[in-house]
Amino acid sequence: MHFNTRKPAWRLLFTLALWGLVALPLLAQNSYYFPKTKNFNPKIPTPEQFLGYGIGERQTRYDRVVAYLQELDRVSDKVSFETIGYTYEHRPQVIATITSPENHGRLEQIRQEHLQLASPAKAAPALANMPVLVHLGYNVHGNESSSTEVSMLTAYYLTANQDPETQRYLKESVVFIDPALNPDGRDRHTNWVSMHQGNPAVSDPADREHNEVWPGGRGNHYWFDLNRDWLPLAHVESRNRMEFYHKWLPNVFIDFHEMGTNSTYYFEPSKPYSSENRLIPRSTYDGLNVLLAKYHAEALDELGSLYFTKEQYDNIYPGYGSTYPDFQGGVGITFEQASSRGNKQENSLGVLTFAFTIRNHLATGLATVKASVENRETLLKHQREFYQSALTDGRKNGVRAYVYGENYDATRLRKFTKLLLDHRIEVYELEKSQRVDGQQFEKGKAYVVPTEQPQYRLVESIFAKTKEFDDSVFYDASTWTLALAYNLPHAGLKSKGALGKRVTELAPVTPLVPAQSHYAYLLDWADYNAAGALYLLQDKGVITQTVFKPFTATTASGPKAYQPGTVTIPVASQKISSDSLYKVITEVAQKKQIGFESVKTGLSAKGIDLGSNNIQTLRKPEALLLTGQGITSYEAGEVWFLLDEQLHMPISKVDLTSFPRLNLRRYNTIVLVSGAYNGLDKASVDKLKRWVADGGTLITFKSASEWAIKQGIAQGKVVSVRDTASKDLRIDFADATPTEGARSVGGSIYEVDLDISHPLGFGFTNRKLPVYRNSTTILAPAKNPYSTVAQYTKEPWLSGYVSKSNLSKIKSSAALLVSDQGQGRVILFSDNPNFRGIWYGTNRLFFNAIFFGSVIKTPGVAVATE
Ligand SMILES: [Zn+2]
């Protein structure tokens, strides 16, 4: 069905009546959503006129939302429409900018002046004539769908309403309508609800309409939570948005959400202190949040809608859409509306309709615009002072600069530096090589980040470790030290010293294409891109091997030392000619931006030669990932995303329910992320055991590792955290939340000791490795001394909250185990090595498991021969 404004209204009504969807007479939409507004410009189409149905009567497909905003751009000089990028499923990410025609005429000037607020070194701009910038960000969680509908009504209201108050808003503000932060997830949910919508609509919570199938519409294409990605920027949607964000630095950002159907409405302030970030000035929380809350309360009071504040929803992690703006001199605010999750659903107060949820979000969103305009100078001044205090706080900081570097892996170093630049952090080249805290930082392979800079607060978030907390309950992580996630050597400096050249963009990589060899090529495994290069070679049918002992090769450019894990490509053993192989090597080097070396002789200058028994032929991974109801969709999505994004390697995603009749013969690698595998019956468990014994590599994370041990698929011992968690037999009801919070591990960082001579440790140059833990899966070290590949150190705690009791159990426990089973093996992680797609330190362990699993033969284990 397509409608546009030129079609007569009776046709619209007639068609709607046929569909039985006309709950309200045409144009009555406005009287429900805007009962007080009488002066709408009739030339501006309402969403209802444009779409052919009233907002709230059904879920609007994302392309229709985009089309409506484009239509407003076409018919009004108050609206401009732009595309800021594309999602993985190639939906456009769009922004409608709404302001007065006069402001539209000088938008670039407004932007330039506004950005001066963030440059304390520049003179302060005159605030009197500066518009305030308001960014309304809708629907980051795809299945919280009311707010995208709100985006259309809000855009309509601001464009069509001719009353003086709205004209003042347009004159004194620039409003960015960001209709869906997660278009792919939004449409997944829209399709689900639409295909199940009854006529009449069914309010029974058990109806299919209200219960999406796994993985639901919350995440993006790769099932990630984009409302955790503002800091790590793992995803294209976030990177596109970040570009736009820093182009404008809005004063207010609203992050629209939905929560449980039985709830009411939530807006900030969040829980004082314990839910707030210590780096953010108190004026944000005690001043701006409180100020704006009055307007939001007033809007909901007028509607008679219930709400709450202060009790929950943390505001600590800069990766949230409502927290990142606090780190940029703005104020970020979460709105949470009880979800009808569909068109209407019963709740404890009666029946919650989609239209009601839309109306609440609409009212608070418009109240935000009003509040921003009425407090325009306060907000602008706050932003200016925020960046000024960033300089003074950075100057007062004990650490005056962070140095970071990486001597062996140029790719990981680049990725991290790119992240800092994406956040507009000032980065400088290291002026001269130096040793800090026992680590060697080499000029050309290390950078310096001074704390005295406008992005001081983000710098601290990315580099500093946190061990002090106001509370033990975390909605999410309690630490996000990205320098640890990237496993990059880094250190704090007491003085910023002499800085090298400022880095504003990364120089392009010129991969080392070797001379053609008729004997062999070598690929150093220390570079992060080596795994992707290896898969590409294997996919092209190239025979690849890996070395287990160090050696010094005689290369064209002289003797060069290589570590275990180095991939060797013997020329004469290939099925293709030497010339064809050389073409492949050249192509892979360029595509993966990585260097190869060529050797003319197998005789090494030192160590093993290239025909040694300490070199094993690798097999190309054919991987399977179990998915579906009960499996943690985030972890499954992280596996899928990493293999796609970093390795360009396919993985079959198979539903758990299909497992019993699945033929496993085509797979040599199976990944079980955490989740409930109880649905697999004994025959399925036996099938998995046989497959491992026949040579398969089974990789398990967290609770899947526990399950594999309990089912006897792998040998091991699970340590219970529950047994001595509390000696108190009786605890007050009111203390339940802090008590239970202290028992869980809500996301913290630890140090493990990694056996870098083991195939799973290949490519690592340092035995100490930071790992991320957000579960209470604790595994005992293996009986076989060679099987505990990574072990928590005796003093493992690096950053984040942990209770004393949990820490004592985590100490010296196993982080990574191998259990040889017949011809195959189970590789058990106690944690998720792929957390949020950016744990570049530990996700290399996962890559090693995929590529080197088949060549692990643990000493001391008798291997059955065929
Ligand atoms: Zn949400």
CA-angle at 320, arms to 314 and 323, nearest 5°:
70
Average pLDDT over residues 397-411: 96
Between the CA of 840 and the centroid of ligand 1 the distance, in Å, is 27
Average pLDDT over residues 293-297: 98
Distance between CA atoms of residues 579 and 529, nearest Å? 24
Q: Which of 40, 92, 84 is nearest to 66 (CA)?
A: 92
pLDDT at 84 over 70: yes
Between the CA of 319 and the centroid of ligand 1 the distance, in Å, is 14
pLDDT at 6 over 60: no
Q: Residue 135 phi/psi, 5° resolution? A: -110, 120
Using one digit for the tens of pLDDT, what is the confidence trace for 790-810?
A: 999 999 999 998 888 899 999
Asked whether 250 and 176 are in contact (CB, 8 A), the reply is: yes
Residue 9's pLDDT is what?
A: 45
Between the CA of 141 and the centroid of ligand 1 the distance, in Å, is 5
From first CA to last CA, the distance across the chain in angstroms is: 64
Q: What is the dihedral of CA 560, 565, 567, 572, to 10 degrees?
A: 90
Pick the range with the lowest mean pLDDT from 5-9, 555-559, 808-812, 816-820.
Answer: 5-9
Asked whether 826 and 713 are in contact (CB, 8 A), the reply is: yes
Between the CA of 45 and the centroid of ligand 1 the distance, in Å, is 30
Residue 498's pLDDT is what?
A: 86
Using one digit for the tens of pLDDT, what is the confidence trace for 630-642?
A: 999 999 999 999 9
Between the CA of 257 and the centroid of ligand 1 the distance, in Å, is 4
Q: Which of 829, 833, 831 is nearest to 819 (CA)?
A: 829
Residue 271's pLDDT is what?
A: 83
If one compares 508 and 127, the residue with the highest pLDDT of the two is: 127
Asked whether 416 and 481 are in contact (CB, 8 A), the reply is: no
Average pLDDT over residues 286-308: 97
Between the CA of 404 and the centroid of ligand 1 the distance, in Å, is 35
Q: Give percent of the chain above pLDDT 90.
A: 85
Between the CA of 225 and the centroid of ligand 1 the distance, in Å, is 9
CA-angle at 137, arms to 2 and 637, nearest 5°:
90
Asked whether 359 and 33 are in contact (CB, 8 A), the reply is: yes
Between the CA of 330 and the centroid of ligand 1 the distance, in Å, is 21
Between the CA of 593 and the centroid of ligand 1 the distance, in Å, is 38
pLDDT at 426 over 80: yes
Q: Please enumerate in sequence order all residues whose Cβ is within 8 A of that of 566, keeping only pairs 6 or more positions apart, or say none.
A: 522, 523, 524, 525, 546, 547
Between the CA of 186 and the centroid of ligand 1 the distance, in Å, is 12
pLDDT at 866 over 70: no
Q: In Å, what is the CA distance from 557 to each residue of 567, 575, 778?
A: 18, 28, 48
Ramachandran quadrant class, 702 (left: phi over 0; alpha: psi -120 to 50; beta: rest): left
Between the CA of 478 and the centroid of ligand 1 the distance, in Å, is 19
Between the CA of 181 and the centroid of ligand 1 the distance, in Å, is 11
Between the CA of 138 and the centroid of ligand 1 the distance, in Å, is 10
Distance between CA atoms of residues 713 and 707, nearest Å? 9
Find tokens 């498991």 and name the residue: 849
Between the CA of 626 and the centroid of ligand 1 the distance, in Å, is 26
Average pLDDT over residues 75-104: 98
For the chain, the residue count is: 866
Between the CA of 337 and the centroid of ligand 1 the distance, in Å, is 9
Residue 270's pLDDT is what?
A: 85
Instruction: Reply yes or no: is the peptide bond before residue 269 cis, omega within 30 of 0.
Output: yes
Bridge partners of residue 788, in order along the sequence:
817
Using one digit for the tens of pLDDT, what is the confidence trace for 210-253?
A: 999 999 999 999 999 999 999 999 999 999 999 999 999 999 99
Bridge partners of residue 820, in order along the sequence:
825
Residue 144's pLDDT is what?
A: 98
Between the CA of 30 and the centroid of ligand 1 the distance, in Å, is 27
Asked whether 635 and 606 are in contact (CB, 8 A), the reply is: no
If one compares 476 and 14, the residue with the highest pLDDT of the two is: 476
Average pLDDT over residues 122-129: 91
- For helices 164-172 and 354-374, what crossing angle results, to 10°? 70
Q: Please enumerate in sequence order all residues whose Cβ is within 8 A of that of 107, keeping only pairs 6 or more positions apart, or say none.
A: 80, 97, 99, 174
Between the CA of 749 and the centroid of ligand 1 the distance, in Å, is 25
Q: Which of 655, 649, 652 is nearest to 666 (CA)?
A: 652
Between the CA of 139 and the centroid of ligand 1 the distance, in Å, is 8
Bridge partners of residue 337, in order along the sequence:
258, 265
pLDDT at 494 over 60: yes
Between the CA of 137 and the centroid of ligand 1 the distance, in Å, is 12
Asked whether 189 and 142 are in contact (CB, 8 A), the reply is: yes
Find tokens 């530990």 and name the residue: 842
pLDDT at 543 over 70: yes
Query: What pLDDT band is residue 860 in, cutting at 50, 70 and 90?
Result: confident
Query: What pLDDT band is residue 509 in, cutting at 50, 70 and 90?
Result: confident
Between the CA of 499 and the centroid of ligand 1 the distance, in Å, is 42
Between the CA of 679 and the centroid of ligand 1 the distance, in Å, is 29
Three-state secondary structure call for residue 525: coil
CA-angle at 241, arms to 187 and 258, nearest 5°:
45
Distance between CA atoms of residues 831 and 835, nearest Å? 9
Between the CA of 481 and the centroid of ligand 1 the distance, in Å, is 24
Distance between CA atoms of residues 199 and 525, nearest Å? 60
Q: Which of 853, 796, 795 is nearest to 819 (CA)?
A: 853
Between the CA of 597 and the centroid of ligand 1 the distance, in Å, is 49
Residue 12's pLDDT is what?
A: 46
Between the CA of 339 and the centroid of ligand 1 the distance, in Å, is 10
Average pLDDT over residues 523-543: 98
Between the CA of 80 and the centroid of ligand 1 the distance, in Å, is 28
Q: Give percent of the chain above pLDDT 70.
A: 93
Between the CA of 258 and the centroid of ligand 1 the distance, in Å, is 5
Pick the range with the lowest mean pLDDT from 100-114, 280-294, 504-518, 844-858.
Answer: 504-518
For ion ligand 1, residues whose CB falls within 5 Å: 141, 144, 257
Does this model's pTM top 0.85? yes
Q: Residue 421 phi/psi, 5° resolution? A: -70, -35
**C-alpha 180, offset from chain centre:** 17
Return the CA Rg of the chain.
29
Q: Please enumerate in sequence order all residues whose Cβ is within 8 A of that of 408, keeping only pairs 6 or more positions apart, or say none.
A: 526, 527, 765
Query: What pLDDT band is residue 818 in, cutting at 50, 70 and 90?
Result: very high
Using one digit for the tens of pLDDT, what is the confidence trace for 431-455?
A: 999 999 999 999 999 999 999 999 9
pLDDT at 197 over 90: yes
CA-angle at 760, arms to 756 and 761, nearest 5°:
20
Between the CA of 226 and the centroid of ligand 1 the distance, in Å, is 10
Kind plus residue range of the DSSP H or E element containing 416 = helix 410-422
Asked whether 835 and 772 are in contact (CB, 8 A), the reply is: yes
Asked whether 314 and 241 are in contact (CB, 8 A), the reply is: no
If one compares 26 and 491, the residue with the highest pLDDT of the two is: 491
pLDDT at 726 over 60: no
Residue 596's pLDDT is what?
A: 95
Between the CA of 344 and the centroid of ligand 1 the distance, in Å, is 19
Distance between CA atoms of residues 642 and 625, nearest Å? 13
Using one digit for the tens of pLDDT, what is the confidence trace for 21-78?
A: 444 444 567 889 999 988 999 999 999 999 999 999 999 999 999 999 999 999 999 9
Between the CA of 202 and the centroid of ligand 1 the distance, in Å, is 24
Between the CA of 63 and the centroid of ligand 1 the distance, in Å, is 21
Asked whether 460 and 397 are in contact (CB, 8 A), the reply is: yes
Distance between CA atoms of residues 594 and 600, nearest Å? 20
Between the CA of 267 and the centroid of ligand 1 the distance, in Å, is 13
Asked whether 85 and 240 are in contact (CB, 8 A), the reply is: yes
Residue 3's pLDDT is what?
A: 35
Between the CA of 335 and the centroid of ligand 1 the distance, in Å, is 9
Asked whether 689 and 818 are in contact (CB, 8 A), the reply is: no
Q: In Å, what is the CA distance from 326 to each residue of 247, 280, 293, 315?
A: 16, 7, 15, 9
Between the CA of 336 and the centroid of ligand 1 the distance, in Å, is 7
Between the CA of 530 and the centroid of ligand 1 the distance, in Å, is 37
Between the CA of 231 and the centroid of ligand 1 the distance, in Å, is 17
Q: Any idea what DSSP says for residue 864?
A: P
Between the CA of 334 and the centroid of ligand 1 the distance, in Å, is 9
**E strands along 669-725, which residues?**
669-672, 697-701, 718-719
pLDDT at 169 over 50: yes
Between the CA of 56 and the centroid of ligand 1 the distance, in Å, is 19
Structure tokens at 730: 């009786």
Asked whether 581 and 539 are in contact (CB, 8 A), the reply is: no
Between the CA of 315 and the centroid of ligand 1 the distance, in Å, is 14
Distance between CA atoms of residues 767 and 753, nearest Å? 5
Q: What is the mean pLDDT of the chain?
A: 93
Average pLDDT over residues 302-307: 97
Between the CA of 799 and the centroid of ligand 1 the distance, in Å, is 27
Q: Which of 271, 624, 244 is nearest to 424 (CA)?
A: 244
Q: Please enumerate in sequence order all residues whose Cβ is within 8 A of that of 398, keeping only pairs 6 or more positions apart, or say none.
A: 492, 494
Between the CA of 259 and the centroid of ligand 1 the distance, in Å, is 7
Q: Please enumerate in sequence order all residues whose Cβ is within 8 A of that of 296, keeping only pairs 6 or more positions apart, or say none.
A: 267, 307, 335, 364, 367, 368, 371
Structure tokens at 687: 């099938």
Residue 17's pLDDT is what?
A: 38
Between the CA of 144 and the centroid of ligand 1 the distance, in Å, is 6
How many CA atoms lie less than 13 Å away from 863 in the CB half-sphere?
15
pLDDT at 7 over 60: no
- For helices 290-303 and 354-374, what crossing angle results, to 10°? 140
Between the CA of 447 and the centroid of ligand 1 the distance, in Å, is 37
